[in-house]
Amino acid sequence: MIGARVWAIGDGWIPPSSTGPAPQMTSHDSACMLNPHDETAEVAITVYFQDREPTGPYHLAIPARRVLHQRFNDFQDPEPVPPGADYSVLIRSSVPIVVQHTRLDSRQAENALMSTIAFPAG
């Protein structure tokens, strides 16, 4: 079986400004999630902070045999993830998924893109 049900992203930080056309070049953190299985993945994301209690869970559904690129900037309910704040993320799924973390930092005209596999737990 491909994937894991629990994933962690240790390095979360949304750059507080952007250069270039929105929304394509808006600075962001995202979780790129693959559901290769035959049923919908019900996903719950909790965000942990350095100086306050966690927020979430944020609930998402990834249809069978599909991908979802979820920008943390787009979370609204129960509250937005603040730009410029250090955070970490715990992702729990009803079926095994694969998670990759990506950050676009477009604060300067010379953009930076970082991507790494998240940590599969258990």
| Number of domains within the chain | 1
How far apart are alpha carbons 14 and 85 in whole angstroms? Answer: 7
**Would you write out the chain's pLDDT as a tens digit for each of its 122 residues?**
899 999 999 887 777 655 665 666 556 578 999 999 999 999 999 999 999 999 999 999 999 999 999 989 889 999 998 888 889 999 999 999 999 987 665 556 665 656 677 888 86
How far apart are alpha carbons 30 and 104 in whole angstroms? Answer: 9
Q: Return the CATH number at 37.
A: 2.60.290.11
**CA-based nearest residue to 92, from 43, 57, 59, 58:** 43
Q: Which domain holds residue 13?
A: 4-121
Neighbours of 10 (CB within 10 A): 12
Residue matched to tokens 């290769």: 36
DSSP state of 27: -
How far apart are alpha carbons 97 and 93 in whole angstroms? Answer: 7
